[in-house]
């Protein structure tokens, strides 16, 4: 596709079709720009279209040179051309594989633009799903990945053989720092490991620090009383530069873990926070279901973005709760969390959304002890308060790990018994 | 819904249901937290569900207190409760209006989480579309809005009575700074006003500055030769903090305008750049079509986000091009760009995607002279080069403004004539 007139010498002055001199720099192309098999992202898309071949070519064009033909192609520009292959043609869907040159990609924003950008708008497509992608090791090395990883989190926890129990503190907004810290303390003493704010909680910077400090102090007391590590999870809601400041200040104030909703904040914000490497980060799923569609990206692709951009924990909606979840997709997230990926650390899977003592078992059956379990109303909304809520979760876990059915174990375990009654019709 | 035991005195020590003291701060609630009719976002959603009333209540709950009942509600937390109303029940769709308390929202991230967050994942919904939203003036005052606006851009252009013609420089990647600047110069001398890079172009920081400087120098030469203002549009692809640095450095290097793809970068990044107020910003639509779905946000809502978060120019796919566009949605964007919105400046609508000299007229028919028109291949891919490409666009405009049909005007106007032939089968 290179214009013959230009193909000969990309580095010496050449003429474009208008007959004018087409100046070039005397610089030699950089080594990293040379097309190498190690610099291709193998990307698969599932599309619906009436013209599969033309569509595949257009997708590849839109994600590389962006043009059919000009007078200005050089050997160097051609090294950025993406190559499509049709893998599978079904009745209504077609699977296309595109090899996307990645030699210049070095950020989350760049990656999203390159494999999930303007292609969403292509007229020739009824829909396009980013089904999966495999970045080369060279690209993975330029992205942060989990900074602590499931292994780092386990070490910080002194490797207990049970899930990380996280209270989502409710009601979500309007509590004073002391009120907030009080509920946090209760749930932690009850048996929870981490207390986090709901993703909706917003507050001016000074209130954020005040609440964080009060909660960290409460966690320290709970730690002393129980002998278990207790963490406070921060969530900074602000404009990007101020979010970084809050994240750093929160880490300094003792928040041992952080949360972010990358689909709402933009995936690049995850990369930004991860690169500061202050504390482990949990990627929350707010807004993500709008992406998880046949015209969007698969849960698998989303989870892959989350891991390679720096999520130590990846939260997906829980089964039997208030949020949409599918076992198949949950298994995809689990696989992405744990699969070998160059030298990147693994991520820990988390589930949440309308959870309580009665819904723990089905997840433990799937994951074993290595996952994070989020309970908001199921802890704070316990009829006897957040301490009993925390206790009910631990009792539910004790029952599961001893293989005793909940219906049997609830006798003699009041917090569990009261939770199972209260939350039987919770949602 | 307030726990009666707590309702009496939210500011004095009270007992929660466990009988323990529930500590409170002695601070009085802040004035901005008091629920006032001026602090409600009127938000409408179109949902598909089998249980409309329950669904409406759940959406309102998920976007405010996030819980059914705990021991810890106070008058203060209750001020954050969102209130749903069912506006319209159709055969398969229901329109719900929710009044969302906004007293603590002060950032793009917070706004997205509050009206477009976890609700996307609710199990009870087959789909939920954010159809429109009306932030109160108090909230608009806390968001940047266009910093220059359509009016500021017109002034900078010395108010010519024609569209802003923007070259999207192609091929997208791999050109050296001189090659890039050469094509830019040609298109600008030909008659284009602005040259911008394709959203896929990525490069290390030093190359970015080198290319920008070479292009600004080319634009200055074109300015001298034509006597018209010529701009270079920068697009910073990097991690967020580095994007801000590049944006500031680019402004200093003479880039007179900037681009961002907020659906790929995250809407908060638009707020971040706008708050720096360096140059006007155009919001690009890459990745946006994945949001513009019945389970997502309407084009209207997207455009509203773009304007209130700081887009001076809002780009929507053009008609008759390579990208999906609907006249109805284009009119929505136009309306949002121009409608009165507190004291916020207006935005300029832009269209692009597979445009050339032959596709200008249908847009001018809709918008008149006040819009921005993006041509990539339609300028750079002109058979006689980018200069002829720029000329063809200006000739097409001359024909439209003199009400002469293109088929007549092409005689005697070579650049136009050649474009109409070359791009007749362009896409």
Tokens of A35: 């097309």
Residue A14: pLDDT band (50, 70, 90) is very low
| Angstrom distances, CA of residue A409 to CA of A397, A404, A416 | 11, 6, 8
Residues on chain A touching B33 (C-beta within 8 angstroms): 174
Per-residue pLDDT band for B127 (boundaries 50, 70, 90) equals very high
Cβ-based contacts of B124 with chain A (< 8 Å): 322
For B100, other C-beta atoms within 10 Å of its C-beta total: 25
Other beta carbons within 10 Å of B138: 16
Q: Which of A117, A87, A115, A86 is nearest to A101 (CA)?
A: A115
CA dihedral B405, B407, B412, B414 (to 10 degrees): 120
Alpha helices, H only, A157-298: 177-190, 205-226, 240-252, 262-265, 267-276
Question: According to the model, what pLDDT value does residue A225 have?
Answer: 98
In whole angstroms, give the CA distance from residue B178 to residue B182.
6
The answer to whether the Cβ–Cβ distance between B238 and A202 falls below 8 Å is no
Give the pLDDT confidence of B71-122 residue by residue, as tens digits: 999 999 999 999 999 999 999 999 999 999 999 999 999 999 999 999 999 9
**How does pLDDT run across B268-315, given as a tens digit for each residue?**
999 999 999 999 999 999 999 999 999 999 999 999 999 999 999 999
Where do we find the tokens 């609440």? Answer: A211
A214 with A189: CB under 8 angstroms? no
> Helix, strand, or coil here: A247?
helix
What residues of chain B lie within 8 A of the CB of A322, using their CB? 58, 62, 122-124
- Nearest chain A residue to B202 by CA distance is A104
Q: Tokens representing B321?
A: 């091009």
List pLDDT tens digits, range A181-204: 999 999 999 999 999 999 999 999
Residue of B171, B202, B289 lying closest to A104 (CB–CB): B202
CB contact under 8 Å between A239 and B67, yes or no, is no
| Residue of B197, B266, B315, B326 to mutate, interface with A, max A Cβ within 10 Å | B266
Residue B23 banded pLDDT, cuts 50, 70, 90 = low
| pLDDT at residue A19 tops 90 | no
Is 60 exceeded by the pLDDT of residue B8? no
Q: What is the pLDDT of residue B117?
A: 96
User: Does the distance separating the beta carbons of A269 and B267 come in below 8 Å?
Assistant: no
Phi, psi (degrees; rounded to nearest 5) at B271: -55, -45
Chain A interface, best mutation among B287, B382, B384, by max A CB count within 10 A: B287
CB-closest option in A77, A172, A296 to B171: A77
Q: What are the tokens at B57?
A: 């209540």
Q: Which residue of A has its CA nearest to B204?
A: A104
Of B114, B264, B384, the CB nearest to A200: B114
**Residues near A57 by Cβ (< 8 Å), separated by ≥ 6?**
A84
B-chain residues near A244 (CB < 8 A): 240-241
Q: What distance in Å separates the CA atoms of residue B350 and residue B334, rounded to the nearest whole number?
A: 9
pLDDT band per the 50, 70, 90 thresholds, residue A67:
confident
CA of A345 to nearest chain B CA: how many angstroms apart?
21
| Residues of chain A positioned with their CB less than 8 A from the CB of B244 | 240-241
Who among B105, B271, B296 is closest to A239 (CB)? Answer: B271
Per-residue confidence (pLDDT) for residue B68, from 0 to 100:
79
Contacts of B377 in chain A (CB under 8 A): 66-70
What average pLDDT does chain A have?
92
Nearest CA in chain A to B384: A18
- Other C-beta atoms closer than 10 Å to the C-beta of B153 total 25
pLDDT digits (tens, 9 = 90+) for B200-214: 999 999 999 999 999
**Which pairing describes strands A348-352 and A313-317: parallel, antiparallel, or unpaired?**
parallel
Chain A CB contacts of B71 under 8 Å are: 380, 385-386
Indicate the angle between helix axes A299-308 and A108-116, nearest 10 degrees: 160
Interface contact B322-A122, CB threshold 8 A: yes
Task: Measure CB to CB from residue B381 to each of A67, A182, A272 and give the nearest one.
Answer: A67
Q: Can you give the pLDDT at residue A325?
A: 97
Ranges A339-348, B64-73, B222-231: which has the least confidence: B64-73
- Residue pair B72/A171 in contact (Cβ under 8 Å)? The answer is yes
- What is the pLDDT at residue A18? 52
> Do A110 and B202 count as a contact with CB atoms less than 8 A apart?
yes
Sheet holding A83-89: strands in order across? A83-89, A94-101, A40-48, A127-134, A296-297
Model pLDDT for residues B179-198, shown as the tens digit of each residue: 999 999 999 999 999 999 99
Q: How far is A159 from chain B (nearest CA, A)?
A: 31
Are B176 and A18 in contact (CB < 8 Å)?
no
Tokens 């750093």 -> residue: A248
Which residue in A66, A115, A213 has the most chain B C-beta atoms within 10 A of its own C-beta, making it the best mutation to test that interface? A66
Q: Determine whether the interchain pair B76/A175 forms a contact, defined as Cβ–Cβ distance below 8 Å.
A: yes
Partner-chain residue, chosen from B267, B287, B288, that has the shortest CB–CB distance to A112:
B287
Q: Which of B16, B66, B122 sits opposite A171 (nearest CB)?
A: B66
Select from B69, B385, B387 the Cβ nearest to the Cβ of A381: B69
pLDDT for A114 beyond 60: yes
- Mean pLDDT value across residues A225-247: 97
Confidence of residue B331 (pLDDT cuts 50, 70, 90): very high
From chain B, the residues in CB contact with A242 under 8 A are: 107
pLDDT band at B6 (very low <50, low <70, confident <90, very high): very low
pLDDT reported for residue A4: 32
pLDDT band at B18 (very low <50, low <70, confident <90, very high): low
Question: Residue B121 and residue A275: Cβ atoms within 8 Å?
Answer: no
* Nearest to B60, CA basis, from B72, B47, B70, B74: B47
Q: Is the CB of residue A278 less than 8 Å from the CB of residue A233?
A: no
Whether residues B322 and A123 touch (CB distance < 8 A) is answered with yes
Q: In this complex, do B117 and A264 lie within 8 Å of one another by their Cβ atoms?
A: yes
Residue B17 scores a pLDDT above 50: no
Give the model's pLDDT for residue A216.
98
Range from A20-29, A36-45, A272-281, B29-38 that averages highest in pLDDT: A272-281
Q: Alpha carbon of A289 to those of A325, A386, B120, B126, B332: distances in Å? A: 10, 30, 5, 11, 25
Task: Compute the nearest-CA separation of B401 from chain A (Å).
Answer: 28
CA distance readout (Å), A97 to A47, A86, A87, A88, A144? 11, 6, 6, 9, 26
**Chain B residues touching A297 at Cβ < 8 A:** 290
Calculate the average pLDDT of chain B.
92
Beta carbons of A265 and B268 less than 8 Å apart:
yes
Q: At B21, phi and psi to the nearest 5?
A: -65, 135
What was the pLDDT predicted at B20?
53
Count Cα atoms within 13 angstroms, Cβ side, for A273. 38
CB A375 within 8 A of CB A183: no
User: Cis omega (within 30 of 0) on the bond before A171?
Assistant: yes
Q: Which domains does chain B have, with CATH numbers?
A: 4-140 (3.30.70.150), 149-422 (3.20.20.110)
Confidence bin at B334 (pLDDT 50/70/90): very high
Tell me the backbone φ, ψ of residue A417, rounded to 5 degrees: -60, -45
pLDDT at residue number A273? 98
Indicate whether B217 pLDDT > 70: yes
- Choose from A29, A49, A113, A380 for mutation: most chain B CBs within 10 A: A113
What is the DSSP track for A295-337?
SEE-HHHHHHHHHHTT-SEEEEEPTTSSB---HHHHHHHHHHH
Chain A residues close to B383, C-beta within 8 Å: 17
Interface contact flag, A171 B73, Cβ < 8 Å: yes
Contacting residues of B for A110, CB less than 8 Å apart? 202, 237-238
Report the alpha-carbon distance of residue A364 to residue A370 in Å, rounded. Answer: 8
Q: Are A76 and A29 in contact (CB under 8 A)?
A: yes
**pLDDT at residue A150, rounded to an integer:** 98
The residues, ordered by sequence, that sit 6+ positions from B404 with a Cβ below 8 Å of its Cβ are: none
Average pLDDT over residues A34-42: 75
pLDDT band at A66 (very low <50, low <70, confident <90, very high): confident
For tokens 């701009």, the residue is B231
- Are A175 and B72 in contact (CB < 8 Å)? yes
Contacts B175 to A, Cβ<8 Å: 72, 74, 76-77
Whether B67 contacts A200, CB under 8 Å: no
In degrees and rounded to multiples of 5, residue B360 shows phi and psi of -70, -45
- CA atoms of A257 and A280, how far apart (whole Å): 5
Q: Do B118 and A269 make contact, defined as CB atoms within 8 angstroms?
A: no
> What pLDDT, on the 0 to 100 scale, is given for residue A36?
56
Q: Do A171 and B118 touch (CB under 8 A)?
A: no
Local confidence band at A3 (pLDDT 50, 70, 90 cut-offs): very low
Tens of pLDDT along A346-365?
999 999 999 999 999 999 99
pLDDT of A306 strictly over 90 = yes
Which one is predicted more confidently, B98 or A31? B98
| Optimal mutation site among A100, A106, A199, A239, interface B, most CBs of chain B within 10 A | A239
Question: ipTM score here?
Answer: 0.93
Q: What pLDDT is attached to residue B265?
A: 98
**Contacts of B284 by beta carbon, 8 Å cutoff, 6+ apart:** B199, B235, B259, B260, B261, B262, B315
Q: List residues bridging with A335 in a β-sheet.
A: none
Alpha-carbon gap: B20 to the closest alpha carbon of chain A (Å): 10
If 0-12 CB within 10 Å is exposed, 13-18 middle and 19+ buried, where does residue A226 land?
Answer: middle
Nearest chain B CA: its distance from A116 CA (Å): 6
């Amino acid at each position: 596709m290179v214009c013959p007139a230009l193909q000969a010498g990309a580095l010496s002055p050449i003429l474009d079709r208008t007959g004018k001199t087409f100046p070039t720099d005397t610089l030699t192309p950089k080594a990293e720009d040379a097309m190498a098999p190690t610099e291709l992202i193998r990307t698969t898309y599932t599309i619906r279209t009436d013209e599969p071949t033309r569509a595949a070519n257009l997708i590849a064009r839109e994600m590389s040179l962006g043009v059919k033909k000009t007078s200005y192609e050089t050997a160097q520009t051609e090294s950025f051309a993406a190559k499509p292959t049709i893998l599978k043609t079904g009745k209504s869907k077609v699977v296309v594989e595109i090899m996307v040159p990645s030699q210049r990609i070095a950020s989350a924003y760049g990656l999203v633009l390159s494999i999930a950008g303007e292609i969403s708008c292509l007229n020739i497509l009824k829909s396009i799903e980013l089904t999966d992608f495999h970045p080369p090791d060279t690209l993975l090395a330029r992205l942060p990945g989990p900074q602590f990883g499931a292994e780092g989190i386990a070490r910080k926890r002194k490797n207990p053989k049970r899930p990380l129990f996280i209270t989502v503190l409710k009601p979500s907004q309007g509590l004073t720092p002391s009120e907030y810290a009080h509920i946090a303390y209760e749930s932690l003493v009850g048996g929870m490991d981490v207390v986090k704010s709901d993703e909706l909680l917003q507050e001016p910077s000074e209130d954020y620090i005040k609440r964080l400090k009060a909660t960290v102090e409460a966690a320290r007391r709970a730690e002393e009383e129980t002998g278990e590590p207790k963490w406070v999870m921060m969530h900074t809601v602000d404009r990007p530069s101020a979010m970084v400041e809050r994240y750093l200040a929160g880490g300094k104030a003792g928040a041992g873990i952080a949360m972010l909703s990358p689909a709402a904040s933009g995936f690049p914000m995850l990369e930004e926070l991860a690169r500061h490497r202050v504390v482990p980060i949990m990627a929350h799923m707010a807004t993500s279901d709008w992406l998880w569609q046949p015209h969007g990206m698969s849960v698998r692709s989303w989870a892959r973005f989350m891991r390679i951009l720096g999520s130590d924990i990846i939260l997906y909606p829980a089964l039997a709760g208030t949020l949409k979840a599918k076992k198949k997709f949950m298994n995809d997230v689990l696989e992405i969390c744990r699969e070998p990926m160059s030298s990147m650390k693994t991520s820990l899977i988390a589930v949440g959304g309308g959870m309580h003592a009665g819904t723990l078992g089905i997840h433990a059956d799937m994951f074993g002890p290595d996952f994070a379990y989020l309970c908001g109303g199921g802890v704070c909304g316990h009829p006897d308060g957040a301490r009993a809520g925390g206790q009910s979760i631990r009792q539910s876990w004790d029952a599961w790990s001893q293989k005793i059915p909940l219906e049997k174990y609830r006798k003699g375990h009041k917090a569990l018994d009261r939770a199972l009654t209260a939350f039987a019709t919770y949602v």
